[in-house]
Amino acid sequence: MLPTIGHWIDGKRVEGGVCLQDVFDPATGKAEKRVFLADESTIGAAIASAQAAYPGWRAVSPARRARVMGRLKQLLEEHAEEICALVTAEHGKVASDAMGELQRGIENVEYASYAPELLKGQHSKDAGPAIDCWSEFQPLGVTAGITPFNFPVMVPLWMWPMALACGNTFVLKPSERDPSSALLVAQLAVEAGVPAGVLNVVNGDKEAVDALLADRRVQAVSFVGSTPVAEYVYAAGCASGKRVQALGGAKNHAVVMPDANVKTVVSSMIGAAFGSCGERCMAVPLIVAVGDDVAKAVIAGLKSGIARIKVGPGIDSGNDMGPLVSRQHLEKVKGYIDQGVAEGATLLVDGREIRVPGHDEGYFLGPSLFDDVKPEMKIYREEIFGPVLGVVRVKTLREAMDLIDRHEYGNGTCIFTRDGEAARYFSDNVLAGMVGINVPLPVPVAYHSFGGWKRSLFGDLHVYGPDAVRFYTRRKTITQRWPSAGADEKAVFSFPSGR
């Protein structure tokens, strides 16, 4: 009998739903737990709990909410190894990568602890004759988040800490593939002082997602995942009157100029393309080499670096890459490699050949490297979400930028160069939401905001940072005047002004 994973509703563990689904250890391919998938009634119970808790939580001062976030930060640090062990067991990523994920999440909790400063409004005394005017930021009510498998700790922490700091309550639906870490963090939130019902966690599949999107008690939804689902979430959420931010897929290009430091490029690309098995929306699956000489030098360095990458179970600290998250995803990524070969790209390193002793049933795939990738190829157009890196050859920076600008995704990009003029022109003009200059993964720190352009983002506001404050609040402007006692005032028929 496998242990079961329930939901977290109204401050306690709850079982029940449509069915139980296996949760696998990707390193062995064996089911280790079973998770309850929520039905509409389970989702309704979580929303009702959040709605009941909202008036009391909204009345808590921003300073007190901030102190709760401060305590949560401390608890996350104290339980870091336990949290990361769950991530490795269910997602498969190596321990150091899991720890890095958690740290970036903790940074967002820390930013949420600045709530009293972030929620300060604006005030204008004597905006008119004896009239004062000010604006303030008020919470929305019940909010929700739908998060992906690839960052089971970090992405939820992009969302609900700021939502709670702003005075909202929250219902989180993490990925059913690796749900345990989100539940543990929710329990730590209660220990930090989050009242019952303020944060709820429900596991589920599309039925759970649809229930959250349809319920009009939910005022706002945050989503991170693939572009087709992001577009669906955005359309369905908006149709039911919600505020929605939906972050989708990516195809991030790394432009390498002739003056770039090849050693820096190679080491950067090894990590950016193959870290976390490429299961990152900010992974770099494409190198755009400006000139054949650049391509040859970078490829030579990559082949040498790839040969040194150690692939194996995430629990072994000596490994650089763990397994992919599921057998289904493993076969999908292998299919992209097959397609790349069939379409005429040159496969220089074939990750399909890797074998991990003692883990024949694990979902392992080694790093793969293609040369001669063309824009019409499927491996160029689509997000692979695996350890597959392709090299595209162009002649000029303008040609490289045209490739990026024409792609349907505009999440992130980067350029490697020693030329400040080229870097400035690239960052000013390229059509992508996040740009790195000699930085392969330009993921903003917690006090900026994360989000792409084009079909990488549906909605007007990015996730976390300053945009999160705007997303999880609505502005109210108050204008007040206290007339003098006994004043004999006449009606004014003109539109009021500040004069």
Give the CB-side neighbour count of residue 72, counting CA atoms within 13 A.
33
Please say if the pLDDT value at position 317 is more than 80. yes
Pairing, β 286-290 against β 473-481: unpaired
Candidate list 166, 277, 281, 414, residue with the active-site label? 281
pLDDT digits (tens, 9 = 90+) for 463-498: 999 999 999 999 999 999 988 777 777 777 777 665
Q: Domain residue spans in the chain?
A: 4-248+456-478, 253-437
Cβ pair 208, 7 in contact under 8 A: no
Give the CB-side neighbour count of residue 378, counting CA atoms within 13 A.
13
Question: Which of these CATH numbers, 1.10.510.10, 3.30.200.20, 3.30.70.890, 3.40.309.10, describes 253-437?
Answer: 3.40.309.10
Q: What is the pLDDT of residue 492?
A: 73
Q: What is the pLDDT of residue 363?
A: 98
Residue 412 tokens read as 């992130």
What superfamily would CATH give domain 4-248+456-478? Aldehyde Dehydrogenase; Chain A, domain 1 (3.40.605.10)
Its pTM surpasses 0.85: yes
For range 375-399, the mean pLDDT: 98
pLDDT digits (tens, 9 = 90+) for 145-173: 999 999 999 999 999 999 999 999 999 99
Q: Which of 223-232, 333-342, 479-488 has the lowest mean pLDDT?
A: 479-488
Cβ pair 398, 409 in contact under 8 A: no
pLDDT digits (tens, 9 = 90+) for 71-119: 999 999 999 999 999 999 999 999 999 999 999 999 999 999 999 999 9
- Same CATH fold assignment for domains 4-248+456-478 and 253-437: no
Please say if the pLDDT value at position 311 is more than 80. yes
- Mean pLDDT score of the chain, rounded to an integer? 96
What's the pLDDT band for 346 if we cut at 50, 70, 90? very high
Sign of CA dihedral 32, 103, 450, 283: negative
What's the pLDDT band for 336 if we cut at 50, 70, 90? very high
Please say if the pLDDT value at position 308 is more than 60. yes
For range 336-353, the mean pLDDT: 97
Tell me whether residue 281 is one of the annotated catalytic residues: yes
